[in-house]
Amino acid sequence: MQAEWDVVIVGGGPAGMSAALLLGRARRRVLLCDSGEHRNDRATAMHGFLTREGIPPAEFRRIARAELAAYPGIQVAPVAVTDAQARDDEGGFAVTLAGREAPVLARRLLLATGLRDELPAIEGLEELYGRDVWHCPYCDGYERRDRPLAVHGAGREAVRMALEVRGWSHDLVLCTDGTEIPARDRARLRGLGIGLRESPLVALEAEEGRLRALRFADGSALPRAGLFLSMPQRQRCELALKLGCELTSRGLLRAGHDGSTCVKGLYTAGDSSPHLQMAIVAAAQGTMAAFAINADLLRQDLAAEQRG
């Protein structure tokens, strides 16, 4: 592995790989670091990605990596990034890779590390997450349309998700674990025929690996075919905060439309920034960030040539 790169990309999902593709085509030297952990590892299929509808995430990554391999300037490394430090006033970084003592140097750094979902402590959830339990109705609602569904979560975000999911099924129940729901929202849910269960959800009952019912703390059970989670999320990687990035009120990285952050030379793309959390959107963000990075490097290169 060479010691100096035009761009180091952290994260090997749709955002990171799309950015690597455009930068490789711009003849940039790109190191794409993929730790092997991806937010959609538990998903059985990706949806909403034109020409790749229903593809398993692992197969999507295999095809994408094969396409990246055609560009000699791109190297994909199955390694985690453990640290990064700004090294000059030109936007450069020293990036530490797991298992490697000396850092690699990057003129620009792109973080495409995504988010980590904080799953609630519900018995049986781990076994069903990604199969009959999800976090995005746009990604997985169609396959359970008109089936008995439920939403689990707290506060206004859970109510918002319940209103969304009703577009896929009118047989719907919101499970709140007893958290406060304002009277106005209660009336709205009731008027739309959305049920409300306030007893804590303690277990998911499965049969032959598929969700069959929700079990509550009061002993009651509710037959359901799918469950959507409105749950907290946090940054998967702490590098952005360490480097001085700002967060929004929702815990997402504050960035411009091109992925630029308040830290010179540092860009972000994908679910970690405030945009729709879908694979096709993340891929587009990666492309936009790559375009901005290459334009940034071009300005720097041309200025250096003129000084020389």
- Domain match, 208 and 296 both: no
214 exposure class (CB count in 10 Å sphere: 0-12, 13-18, 19+): buried
- Domain match, 129 and 106 both: no
pLDDT at site 170 = 97
- The amino acid sitting at 174 is L
- Domain match, 26 and 129 both: no
pLDDT at site 89 = 79
- Residue 266's nearest CA partner among 87, 104, 100, 78 is 87
- Domain match, 133 and 198 both: yes
Q: Answer with the one of 177, 200, 229 that is the final residue of a domain.
A: 229
Q: Answer with the one of 179, 203, 229 that is the final residue of a domain.
A: 229
Q: Match 């059970």 to its residue by tokens.
A: 221
In this structure, what CATH number is given to the domain that contains residue 101? 3.50.50.60
Rounded Cα distance, 147 and 141, in Å: 10
Q: What are phi and psi of 154, to 5 degrees?
A: -125, 150
- Domain match, 184 and 102 both: no
- Domain match, 225 and 240 both: no
- Domain match, 62 and 105 both: yes
pLDDT at site 78 = 96
Average pLDDT over residues 24-50: 94
pTM equals 0.92
- Domain match, 140 and 168 both: yes
Q: What are phi and psi of 303, to 5 degrees?
A: -65, -40
- Domain match, 86 and 135 both: no
> Number of structural domains, the chain?
2
- Residue 34's nearest CA partner among 49, 14, 56 is 14
- CA distances for 45 relative to 18, 122, 158, 207, 279, angstroms: 19, 24, 24, 22, 11
pLDDT per residue as tens digits for the range 281-292: 999 999 999 999
pLDDT per residue as tens digits for the range 226-249: 999 999 888 888 899 999 998 888
Question: CB-based contacts of 199: which residues, under 8 Å, 6+ apart?
Answer: 177, 178, 216, 217, 218, 220
Which residue range(s) make up the domain with 129? Answer: 119-229
- Domain match, 87 and 112 both: yes
Rounded Cα distance, 122 and 213, in Å: 13
Q: Answer with the one of 229, 259, 293 that is the final residue of a domain.
A: 229
Q: What is the DSSP string of 45-101?
A: ---S-TT-TT--HHHHHHHHHHHHTT-TTEEEE---EEEEEE-STTS-EEEEETT-S
Q: What are the beta bridge partners of residue 10?
A: 33, 111
- Domain match, 90 and 176 both: no
- Domain match, 111 and 237 both: yes
Give the other-Cβ count within 10 Å of 232's Cβ: 15
pLDDT at site 148 = 98
